[in-house]
Amino acid sequence: MCLLLLPFVSCLPESNFPDEPIIEFQSFDVQASGGRELIIRFSDGDGNMGLAQGDTMPPFCASCEHHQNLKCEYQELREGLWVEVNLDPEAGQIPFYYRVPPAAPTGQNPAQNGTIAIDMNSWYLNTEYDSMRFRIMLFDRDLNASNEVFTYAVAKP
C-alpha cells in the first residue's frame, strides 16, 4: 500500500512565486506592554530573502541604504491626507527599519514563504496629529523591492 502512495507524494506541486518578494499585511495588534506587534506574510521565488549578521559589506553595510531590509515608513493623517513623516535620527527620531534574518529554504525548491513578526516597543511620534499608519516594503538580497502594503489607521494614545 505504501509503495502505491509514493508516486503521488513525490509529485506534489512546487511553490511558484516571482523572484521579487511579495508581502501581505496581516495585523498590527496592541501588546500587553503597550507596544504593537506588526505581522506580515511574505513570499520570494528565488529564496534570497533575509540578511545574516555577517552581511556587512556594501550594499548592506551600516551606512548603506539597504542595511535594513524591512522598511516601515511612518505616516500621519493630517487634514484628511496621509503625509509621510521623514524621521531625523539626529533629533532622536529613529526610523522604523529592521533587518529580517534569512530563513534557508528546505528541499530543492528555493521558493520561500512565511510570516515576519516585529515587536515595536515604540510605534508612534508625539505630535499634534492623532492617527498614524505605516507604509511597508521588503527587499531581498538582490535589492528587489516588494509591493507596498499599509497598516490600518491607528489612533495614537
* pLDDT at position 8: 41
Instruction: For 43-88, write each residue's pLDDT tens digit.
Output: 998 888 999 999 999 999 999 999 999 999 999 999 999 999 999 8
Torsion angle of C-alpha atoms 59, 113, 30, 132, degrees rounded to 10: 50
**Tally of structural domains, the chain:** 1
What is the average pLDDT score of the chain? 88
Residue 108 cell numbers, joined: 530543492
10 in a structural domain:
no
What is the C-alpha separation between 155 and 157, in angstroms, rounded? 7
The CATH number given to whatever domain includes residue 92 is 2.60.40
37 in a structural domain:
yes
* pLDDT at position 16: 74
